[in-house]
Amino acid sequence: MDRVTTFGGHRTDAPPARVVPMSDRTFKPIESPDSTTVFPYHDLTPPTLSQIYRMRALMQSHLPRSPLVRSDILSERLDADVYLKREDTLPTGTFKVRGGIALGHDLDERFREQGLIVASTGNLGQGVAYGGREFDVPVVIGVPEGANPSKVAAMERLGARVEQRGTDFDEAREWVESRAVDEGYRLVSPGNDRNLLAGIATAGLEVVEDRSDVDVLVNPIGSGSSATGYCLTVGKLCDADVIGVQSEDASAVYEAWKGGHLKSKESVSTFAEGLATRVPFALTMQVLREDLTDIVLVSDEALRQTIRLLLEEEHILAEGAGVASVAGALQLGDELRGKTVVLPISGRNIDAETLAAVLE
């Protein structure tokens, strides 16, 4: 397994490190079960249902509820009762804002001055920036060079400081982790962060409130945070099957899940940046291994076709990762016949250039 963590790895172009009392163990990482950096404040136990219910009350005072809408077109195609959970309608355009609210609200006093730091290809950063703004917490976001410009602009508009570091998500993540060590920011882990997962899991409670008879929920997997949330809510409370979807060109979690390990991949490539993670996280993998029914792989071409399908037939505009649930369901086909199926539309943040290429 390639451990690529660069504790304290200074770069010459990095801002000068703030002096942090080395006696404060908070800023020293602990032994990590995977190849990401973990601090003592990262609780690696899955959120409990009661914690998720408490978060649900918090979300109600900060976010609109996302609608669960029947799709006649997909119901007909799949000969099933199909509902779309419209997470794309939330502020910032994705479910990740739920995690941002949870983190901003629960921030430990020790981190109030420095605030939160997070690596992101765009959507998690926007969610955390939104949560930071709600609770007046500073936010620094490390994005890969050449990150989606409309997502970068959105993060800056929400008041976050955006730094372009590294060539892909995981290099940006390593930069962010070393800043958290050196400068005492509260590191947001996309997969090993119990608070974040509890916030994100509130989407599943909303689904259960709307329909308690869900048979199958199909959901995209990047770091696995949202699939974990659905396993812990819809999976448990409706006894539903939760099925994950990854891109066949970015299958790190799929392989780790099937193989029972936490190995990173050297590189992944998909235009659906929400799915482009090459490092499995210990906490989400623990839940997914226990509770996820299956993972299906879809091609990038299938994701493009599904963006077109949703736009032309449902008049919903979603990004590549945002339609992965629908692409996965179409691939499952007959297996879903006669069932009540929920497909979260996880995000809408597609830029005009990508959309133009998809529609060509």
State yes or no: residue 235 binds ligand PLP (CB under 6 A). no
Residue 81 Cβ, how far from ligand PLP at the closest point, in Å?
23
| Parallel, antiparallel or unpaired: strands 81-86 and 68-70 | antiparallel
Residue 178: name the closest of 24, 330, 350, 36 by CA.
Answer: 36
Residue 2 Cβ, how far from ligand PLP at the closest point, in Å?
21
Beta strands in 32-149 (DSSP E): 68-70, 81-86, 116-119, 139-143
Task: Convert residues 110-149 into a mask of x (bound to ligand PLP by CB under 6 A) and - (unbound).
Answer: -------------x--------------------------
| 29 vs 224, beta carbon nearer ligand PLP | 224
**Dist CA 249 CA 67 (whole Å):** 31
**Cβ(68)–Cβ(323) below 8 Å:** no
**Dist CA 333 CA 336 (whole Å):** 6
State yes or no: residue 225 binds ligand PLP (CB under 6 A). yes
Q: Which residues contact 78 (CB under 8 A, 6 or more apart)?
A: 329, 330, 333, 336, 337, 341
**Dist CA 91 CA 88 (whole Å):** 8
Q: Which letter does DSSP use for residue 335 in this model?
A: G
Interface segment toward ligand PLP; rule CB under 6 A; list 133-141, 149-157, 201-209, 220-228: 220-228
Radius of gyration over alpha carbons of the chain, in Å?
Answer: 19
**Dist CA 331 CA 306 (whole Å):** 11
| 36 vs 346, beta carbon nearer ligand PLP | 346
Residue with the shortest CB distance to ligand PLP: 347
State yes or no: residue 328 binds ligand PLP (CB under 6 A). no
Residue 224: name the closest of 249, 185, 250 by CA.
Answer: 250
Q: Element (H or E) spanning 35, and its range? A: none
**Dist CA 308 CA 104 (whole Å):** 36
Residue 228 Cβ, how far from ligand PLP at the closest point, in Å?
7
Residue 331 Cβ, how far from ligand PLP at the closest point, in Å?
17
**Dist CA 234 CA 237 (whole Å):** 5
Residue 272 Cβ, how far from ligand PLP at the closest point, in Å?
8
State yes or no: residue 81 binds ligand PLP (CB under 6 A). no
State yes or no: residue 321 binds ligand PLP (CB under 6 A). yes
State yes or no: residue 221 binds ligand PLP (CB under 6 A). yes
Interface segment toward ligand PLP; rule CB under 6 A; list 206-214, 259-267, 316-324, 333-341: 316-324
State yes or no: residue 94 binds ligand PLP (CB under 6 A). yes
State yes or no: residue 189 binds ligand PLP (CB under 6 A). no
State yes or no: residue 222 binds ligand PLP (CB under 6 A). yes
Question: Interface residues with ligand PLP (CB under 6 A)?
Answer: 94, 96, 123, 190, 220-227, 274, 319, 321-322, 346-347
